Amino acid sequence: MPGTALITGITGQDGTYLAQHLLSLGYQVYGLVRGQNNPKIGMVDQLCPGIEWLEGDLLDQSSLIAALETCQPDEVYNLGAISFVALSFKQAINTGETTGLGVTRILEAIRVVNPKIRFYQASSSEMFGKVRETPQNELTPFHPRSPYGVAKAYGHYITVNYRESFGMFTCSGILFNHESPRRGLEFVTRKITHAAARIKLGIDQTIALGNIDSKRDWGFAGDYVKAMHLMLQQEAPDDYVVATGHTHSVREFCELAFAHVGLDWQDHVVTDPRFLRPAEVDVLVGDATKARTKLGWKTEVDFGHLVAMMVGSDMEAQRTAQRIGAATR
Ligand code: GDR
């Protein structure tokens, strides 16, 4: 029987997809939000009506204990983090505190309030960084290349450690890049699809990118949140890679996104060293055999459909903005 779930990072892309999924299964869903009067609550309420809101912060231990005591969840999904790799180079300490130590704070809160709560940690393919083997699976060694990747590696190991030390039901999902129309504009996929739509409609002429040769294993976020939920329904806690098994370059993403609106990407994409990172992850591709066989998880949206979905959504949004602009002039 579905129970009660608490989600940190609920206002992000994955938070909204996961909340929708859990609500559709009959869960009572609590969302943990930082700060006063968080402006994103209204947006999330529209997308997923029925969420109950709690205040709390991964930097503040007592707020996490209070949140757990209030909602008494069966499952906690820790999606909260500083999640933008480029920012983590500029805010390395903040990233360590939130993305890394934040995991220990919530695990400690669970241990104190109710160690039977099942816990999902959003681990990342960025932990593989300078990859030691291809494709990457659950046993591939880590070599993170950013403060974000380092903090995620810490979060991963502390999740494993609480399982082994205290017998807690803690799972780590090592998710490769996953995208959607809800992706933030700072991430490369959405930056490209948003720009392609604006260029098509004559609003902008060019887009500036960093390293267009880097390759990622891009899947659809709506598929990936289902794996998170499945991990917490197993008999025993474990770690799983979640990926499509296919890799594409940023260049290929541009080619496809611009072609979707009838444009040649080479006429519009420029490169700018401002968007290069101090250390780069060149190529990632995941082996999700374990998730497929043990969880019965599968991808439903492939790369081509993902790009088409994102460009289509950005075209629609830009056209709507143009109509509203015209009507108010
Ligand atoms: P990533 O995602 O760092 O893989 O982490 P991002 O979309 O930011 O970058 C992907 C690749 O594209 C290159 N790139 C650019 N990236 C951005 N953001 N902007 C640019 O202009 C640009 N030009 C080229 C990057 O250098 C990189 O190689 C994402 C995040 O969601 C993490 O939180 C998550 O853990 C991992 O995916 C899995």
Give the residue whose CA is nearest to atom 9 of ligand 1.
188
pLDDT score of 216: 98
Give the residue whose CA is nearest to atom 37 of ligand 1.
177
DSSP state of 291: I
230 with 305, same domain: the answer is no
Q: Which atom of ligand 1 is nearest to the CA of 284?
A: 4
Give the residue whose CA is nearest to atom 26 of ligand 1.
211
Whether 291 is in a domain gets the answer no
pLDDT score of 124: 98
264 with 132, same domain: the answer is no
pLDDT beyond 80 at 181: yes
Distance CA 210, CA 23 (A): 38
Q: In what order do the strands lie in the sheet with 75-78?
A: 52-55, 28-33, 4-8, 75-78, 118-124, 170-175, 239-242
* Average of per-residue pLDDT across 305-310: 98
Q: Which atom of ligand 1 is nearest to the CA of 84?
A: 33
* Average of per-residue pLDDT across 268-289: 98
pLDDT score of 328: 80
Residue 191 Cβ inside 6 Å of ligand 1? The answer reads yes
pLDDT beyond 80 at 81: yes
Q: Which atom of ligand 1 is nearest to the CA of 83?
A: 33
Could you report the per-residue pLDDT of 90-103, keeping only the tens digit for each?
999 999 999 999 99
137 with 276, same domain: the answer is no
pLDDT beyond 80 at 1: no
Whether 79 is in a domain gets the answer yes
Exactly one of 83, 126, 146, 240 is catalytic; which is it? 126
Who wins on pLDDT, 247 or 1? Answer: 247
60 with 153, same domain: the answer is yes
pLDDT band at 39 (very low <50, low <70, confident <90, very high): confident
Residue 122 Cβ inside 6 Å of ligand 1? The answer reads no
DSSP state of 142: P
* Average of per-residue pLDDT across 16-30: 98
* Average of per-residue pLDDT across 220-231: 98
Whether 76 is in a domain gets the answer yes
Residue 250 Cβ inside 6 Å of ligand 1? The answer reads yes
For residues 76 and 117, the answer to whether their CB atoms sit within 8 Å is yes
pLDDT score of 149: 98
The yes-or-no answer on residue 172 being catalytic is no
205 with 278, same domain: the answer is yes
175 with 197, same domain: the answer is no
CA of 247 to the centre of ligand 1 (A): 14
pLDDT score of 36: 78
pLDDT score of 34: 94
For residues 4 and 30, the answer to whether their CB atoms sit within 8 Å is yes
Distance CA 87, CA 44 (A): 24
Could you report the per-residue pLDDT of 120-162, keeping only the tens digit for each?
999 999 999 999 999 999 999 999 999 999 999 999 999 999 9
55 with 93, same domain: the answer is yes
pLDDT score of 122: 99
pLDDT band at 327 (very low <50, low <70, confident <90, very high): confident
* Average of per-residue pLDDT across 182-199: 98
Residue 211 Cβ inside 6 Å of ligand 1? The answer reads yes
Number of compact structural domains in the chain: 2
Residue 216 Cβ inside 6 Å of ligand 1? The answer reads yes
256 with 124, same domain: the answer is no
pLDDT band at 311 (very low <50, low <70, confident <90, very high): very high
* Average of per-residue pLDDT across 286-296: 98
90 with 198, same domain: the answer is no
The CATH code of the domain that includes 212 is: 3.90.25.10
Distance CA 219, CA 288 (A): 12
Whether 290 is in a domain gets the answer no
pLDDT score of 196: 98
Give the residue whose CA is nearest to atom 19 of ligand 1.
188
For residues 96 and 151, the answer to whether their CB atoms sit within 8 Å is yes
pLDDT band at 5 (very low <50, low <70, confident <90, very high): very high
Nearest to 104 by CA among 181, 30, 156: 156
- Map residue 65 onto helix, strand or coil: helix
pLDDT score of 329: 75
Whether 288 is in a domain gets the answer no
**Tokens 């959405």 -> residue:** 190
Distance CA 235, CA 265 (A): 48
Mean pLDDT of the chain, nearest integer: 97
* Average of per-residue pLDDT across 281-303: 98
pLDDT band at 2 (very low <50, low <70, confident <90, very high): confident
The yes-or-no answer on residue 300 being catalytic is no
pLDDT score of 287: 98
pLDDT score of 35: 80
The CATH code of the domain that includes 95 is: 3.40.50.720
265 with 171, same domain: the answer is no
pLDDT band at 73 (very low <50, low <70, confident <90, very high): very high
CA of 41 to the centre of ligand 1 (A): 26
* Average of per-residue pLDDT across 181-210: 98
pLDDT score of 59: 98
Tell me which residue range forms the domain holding 197.
188-216+248-283+296-328
Give the residue whose CA is nearest to atom 38 of ligand 1.
177
pLDDT score of 38: 87
The yes-or-no answer on residue 120 being catalytic is no
Exactly one of 63, 123, 124, 172 is catalytic; which is it? 124
